[in-house]
Amino acid sequence: MKLTFLGTGTSFGVPQIGCPCAVCHSTDPRDRRTRVGAIVETDTGTRLLLDTPPELRLQLLAAGIDRVDAVLFTHDHADHIHGVDDIRAFTVRRDSPLPMYGLPETLDRLAQRFPYIFDESVRPMPGTSKPEGKALPIRDGEAVTIGDATVRAIALPHGNTTVLGFRIGPFAYVTDAKRVPEEAIALLRGARVLVVNALFHKQHPTHLSIGEALAVSASVGAERTFLTHLTHENFHADLRAKLPRGVSPAFDGLVVAVDGDSLADEVSEGDE
């Protein structure tokens, strides 16, 4: 099974528009971060898309992804959903709408913002097409089977809203959480790879800080932890050098593969 990081940046992305800082002008490709999204793929080819960030088309092209079997939405903030129209590239080749999972309130708001995607009565004119999704609610603690993948939803606080983290086989994926309660930690334990958001070194009202993310990592006890939803506060190389063993900043395009007892980044240290 493997995880591909499509995007690893904060809602601003990195570089930020108009920012003069050194990170935003870095020549290290790992310091260029599009908005957060990922692909999980099983050994038999089931592909799950986690969120539809604004740069989705470019991210999918860069990763060579031409098909997915379902979309898992963490929540409906703009930086996680505003590429949803790009699923049309998948649905024009399908015989049925693309399954889309999320909290009931997340799916309700998506249907309000993008009614043409979910309303089967809205038909494209002859010779045109539209993205087609089927809303499938999933609640805290619930597990669903998609192809040969079992996905468990884990509700987490994100300021005044709730986001979903996901446990998918050896992977645990948590983004935009402010806290990870003990009952969520219990569901995440046993994962070999943890992905967790880490915004700033300082405290933030709606996101884990880097220090808080490290505490979550220690509690979960995964073999590897990758930090995502990163800002222009740190150069990738500088942050990596400061993190404890087993913890790394993710970057756009990174692929992490788990094969039996083997766990490896498909991008080597030299290629990074």
Question: Which tops the pLDDT comparison, 86 or 267?
Answer: 86
What's the structural domain count of the chain? 1
Nearest to 136 by CA among 48, 40, 4: 48
The pLDDT of residue 127 is above 90: no
In a domain, 208, yes or no: yes
Over residues 191-212, mean pLDDT = 95
Phi, psi of 81 (to 5 degrees): -130, -15
Phi, psi of 49 (to 5 degrees): -100, 125
- The confidence score (pLDDT) of residue 126 equals 87
Q: Which two tokens stand for residue 108?
A: 């309700």
* 17 confidence band (pLDDT: 50, 70, 90): very high
In a domain, 198, yes or no: yes
The pLDDT of residue 267 is above 90: no
The pLDDT of residue 268 is above 50: no
Strands 98-102 and 193-197: unpaired
Q: What is the dihedral of CA 252, 69, 109, 55, to 10 degrees?
A: 30
Do residues 225 and 246 lie in contact, with contact meaning Cβ atoms separated by under 8 Å?
A: yes
In a domain, 93, yes or no: yes
Q: What is the pTM of this model?
A: 0.95
C-alpha–C-alpha distance, residues 139 and 104, integer Å: 8
Nearest to 165 by CA among 226, 230, 74: 74
The pLDDT of residue 180 is above 50: yes
In a domain, 268, yes or no: no
CATH number, position 163: 3.60.15.10
Which domain covers residue 48, as residue numbers? 2-17+34-261
- The confidence score (pLDDT) of residue 229 equals 98
Over residues 193-209, mean pLDDT = 95
Over residues 142-158, mean pLDDT = 97
In a domain, 48, yes or no: yes
- The confidence score (pLDDT) of residue 269 equals 41
Give 254's contacts (C-beta < 8 A, 6+ positions apart). Answer: 4, 5, 8, 226, 265, 266, 267
| Centroid of chain to Cα 108 | 20
Over residues 173-193, mean pLDDT = 96
* 121 confidence band (pLDDT: 50, 70, 90): confident
- The confidence score (pLDDT) of residue 271 equals 44
- The confidence score (pLDDT) of residue 270 equals 38
C-alpha–C-alpha distance, residues 7 and 50, integer Å: 10
- The confidence score (pLDDT) of residue 35 equals 98
The pLDDT of residue 256 is above 60: yes
With helix as H, strand as E and coil as C, how does the chain read? Answer: CEEEEEECECCCCECCCCCCCCCCCCCCHHHCECECEEEEECCCCCEEEECCCCCHHHHHHHHCCCCCCEEECCCCCHHHHCCHHHHHHHHCCCCCCEEEEECHHHHHHHHHHCHHHHCCCCCCCCCCCCCCEEEEECCCCCEEEECCEEEEEEEEEECCEEEEEEEECCEEEECCCCCCCHHHHHHHCCCCEEEEECCCCCCCCCCCCHHHHHHHHHHHCCCEEEEECECCCCCHHHHHHHCCCCEEECCCCCEEEEECCEEEECCCCCCC
Over residues 260-270, mean pLDDT = 63
C-alpha–C-alpha distance, residues 251 and 271, integer Å: 12
Over residues 68-96, mean pLDDT = 97
In a domain, 178, yes or no: yes
In a domain, 239, yes or no: yes
In a domain, 270, yes or no: no
Q: Whole-number mean pLDDT of the chain? A: 95
Do residues 175 and 199 lie in contact, with contact meaning Cβ atoms separated by under 8 Å?
A: no
- The confidence score (pLDDT) of residue 266 equals 56
* 263 confidence band (pLDDT: 50, 70, 90): confident
* 272 confidence band (pLDDT: 50, 70, 90): very low
Indicate if the alpha-carbon torsion angle 268, 269, 271, 272 is positive or negative: positive
